[in-house]
């Protein structure tokens, strides 16, 4: 019996040893790069445990504005001190003299440090070129003056550019044929997501040294400078944004305490985004909170009277806008006495200026009687239904889209809506289920300003190698004609009338240094102020300027706004005044 027990115990021990050896083999030989359900890379973890490093550049491509100004990061020349300096005698007095600080201040910052530190004083201390040269000429181990990439403390156009993050599972799904590290940063939203295949990091630029179990230098004081061997990377994405304009428009939005909504500004000639403001802002601590990640300029919204521009275009083409024809603008769209707006009997031109609902509800009903698909057809011609961001083939990427987050607009949701006169009348004034993205509306205004030509919208003009040579240029896509030059000119005059007419809804814009043309809109959203019967609305202004030689197309929209919320007209005035000063500086 005793021998059987000993034999059994031996088998148990043998099985345990086999299991242990198998486990060690799994850890050290088999699953070294994909250990456990979390796919932990044990090799990388081991290296990280045995090294101390400071990343100078994470190797991911970066965004620049049209003039070459960095948008997401700022290169700064800084002093980096390694923690082993506190254990050695080094020329701290000379380093302190060069940077203009006391030796005590330098020693204090590495006193308790376990990792390399960037010398700071209410932020990183930025060095001049001569300081960098003098510090590095001292050749002190553990003391380096380098140009390090820092994230901008205040990100601009953050929803358009997007955010990055680490997600090992999604990384494998997105790039199944690549062997990227689990710590590789990838684009989650915006242009970061669209251009991720070009931006994804290759090698980091960093200062590294190996440590023993107590954190001391393992191979003496040998700090290695690791730099990618490929001089063409990381890639540079040259956007169409103007950093100074983007910054000022964000300041204006914040000045008027814009809670939800945004601003989109297009360059009419190139049909490119100069600025994209979306509110609420991204909360850096909780980016998914309160919709801060959403770029509302790319999301469909109720347009209200902005949509009357489309109805006007059809009315012109189908000759429903006779100068002698008048409309009773003292009535609502259903023929009842309008207790809010009593404009009396107006012509088509004046109806557009004061935004008479009765006129355009009537026009929409007449148009639908001609062809129930006509309204939708013209909306499509203006690019209001389809995505308007640049799409095309980029090398082996077919149907590459610059604006991956852009959504489509909508006009009708059913045949009933197309054929029921009462519902069609609501569509005619931009209500019911009509939803348009602010970007597509700005694009429509640019098309009208250009004489009826519809282009796709660019947010990026080119991709460049690190050395500045061109990798790929995104051509302007002239697309197709939305309306004839004649119709476009008639629409231009109508949009100008909104500003210059004594009763025009945008008459407050008539004394600006740039002559403005445009359309206002107020749309019911079906949402209400908490504990009140007041309905929230979308407040719009969409237009272009200067009128005689159009340069900019602009949309300002306040979403889910209360009655007392600042009018987009006030915001537009500040934008136009700024742009005039900016252009004539």
Give the catalytic positions in this structure.
Answer: 305
What six digits make up the tokens of 431?
């209500």
Q: What is the CA 45 to chain-centroid distance, rounded?
A: 34
For residues 448 and 347, the answer to whether their CB atoms sit within 8 Å is: no
Strands 326-328 and 397-401: unpaired
In total, the chain counts a number of residues equal to: 585
d(CA 283, CA 106): 34
Provide the β-strand partners of residue 149: 75
Answer positive or negative: Cα dihedral of 271, 276, 278, 282: positive
d(CA 84, CA 92): 13
Nearest to 187 by CA among 203, 174, 202, 204: 174
HEC sequence for 275-295:
EEEEECCCCCCCCCHHHCCCC
For residues 383 and 359, the answer to whether their CB atoms sit within 8 Å is: no
For residues 267 and 581, the answer to whether their CB atoms sit within 8 Å is: no
Q: What is the CA 468 to chain-centroid distance, rounded?
A: 24
For residues 443 and 542, the answer to whether their CB atoms sit within 8 Å is: no
Nearest to 409 by CA among 435, 445, 427: 435
Q: Is 207 helix (H, G, I), strand (E, B) or coil?
A: strand
For residues 198 and 61, the answer to whether their CB atoms sit within 8 Å is: yes
Angle among Cα 324, 542, 567 to the nearest 5 degrees reads: 105
d(CA 145, CA 89): 19
């Amino acid at each position: 019996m005793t021998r059987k027990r000993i034999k059994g115990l031996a088998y148990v021990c043998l099985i345990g040893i086999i299991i242990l050896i198998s486990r060690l083999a799994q850890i050290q030989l088999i699953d070294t790069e994909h250990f456990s359900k979390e796919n932990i890379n044990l090799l990388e973890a081991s290296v990280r445990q045995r090294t101390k490093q400071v990343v100078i550049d994470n190797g991911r491509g970066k965004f620049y504005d049209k003039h070459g100004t960095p948008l997401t990061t700022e290169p700064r020349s800084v002093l980096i001190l390694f923690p082993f300096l506190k254990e050695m005698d080094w020329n701290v007095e000379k380093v302190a003299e060069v940077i203009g600080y006391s030796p005590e201040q330098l020693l204090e910052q590495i006193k308790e440090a376990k990792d390399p530190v960037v010398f700071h004083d209410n932020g990183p201390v930025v060095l001049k070129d001569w300081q960098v040269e003098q510090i590095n000429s001292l050749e002190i181990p553990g003391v380096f003056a380098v140009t390090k990439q820092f994230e901008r403390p205040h990100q601009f156009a953050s929803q358009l550019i997007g955010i990055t993050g680490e997600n090992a599972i999604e990384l494998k799904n997105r790039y199944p044929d690549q062997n990227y590290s689990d710590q590789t940063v990838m684009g989650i939203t915006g242009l970061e997501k669209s251009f991720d295949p070009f931006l994804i990091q290759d090698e980091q630029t960093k200062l590294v040294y190996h440590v023993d179990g107590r954190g001391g230098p393992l191979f003496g004081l040998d700090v290695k400078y690791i730099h990618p061997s490929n001089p063409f990377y990381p890639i540079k994405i040259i956007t169409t944004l103007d950093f100074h304009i983007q910054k000022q428009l964000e300041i204006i939005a914040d000045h008027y305490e814009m809670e939800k909504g945004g601003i989109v500004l297009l360059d009419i000639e190139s049909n490119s985004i100069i600025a994209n403001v979306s509110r609420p802002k991204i909360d850096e601590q909780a980016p998914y909170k309160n919709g801060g990640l959403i770029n509302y300029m790319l999301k469909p919204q109720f347009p209200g009277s902005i949509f009357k521009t489309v109805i006007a275009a059809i009315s012109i083409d189908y000759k429903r806008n006779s100068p002698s024809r008048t409309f009773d603008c003292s009535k609502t769209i259903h023929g009842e006495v309008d207790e809010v707006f009593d404009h009396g009997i107006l012509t088509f031109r004046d109806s557009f200026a004061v935004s008479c609902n009765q006129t355009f509800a009537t026009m929409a009903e007449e148009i639908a009687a001609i062809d129930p698909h006509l309204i939708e057809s013209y909306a499509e011609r203006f690019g209001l239904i389809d995505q308007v961001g640049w799409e095309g083939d980029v090398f082996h990427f077919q149907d590459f889209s610059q604006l991956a987050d852009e959504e489509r607009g909508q006009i009708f949701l059913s045949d009933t809506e197309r054929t029921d006169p009462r519902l069609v009348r609501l569509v005619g004034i931009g209500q019911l289920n009509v939803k348009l993205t602010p970007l597509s509306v700005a694009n429509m205004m640019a098309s009208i300003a250009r004489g009826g030509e519809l282009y796709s919208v660019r947010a990026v003009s080119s991709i460049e190698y690190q050395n500045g040579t061109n990798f790929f240029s995104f051509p302007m896509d002239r697309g197709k004609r939305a309306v004839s030059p004649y119709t476009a000119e008639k629409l231009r005059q109508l949009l100008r009338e909104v500003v210059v007419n004594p009763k025009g809804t945008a008459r407050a814009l008539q004394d600006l240094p740039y002559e403005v043309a445009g359309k206002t809109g107020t749309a019911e959203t079906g949402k209400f102020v908490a504990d009140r019967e007041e309905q929230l609305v979308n407040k719009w202004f969409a237009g272009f300027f200067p009128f005689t030689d159009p340069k900019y197309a602009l949309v300002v929209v306040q979403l889910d706004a209360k009655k007392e919320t600042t009018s987009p007209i006030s915001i537009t005035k500040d934008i136009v005044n700024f742009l005039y000063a900016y252009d004539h500086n």
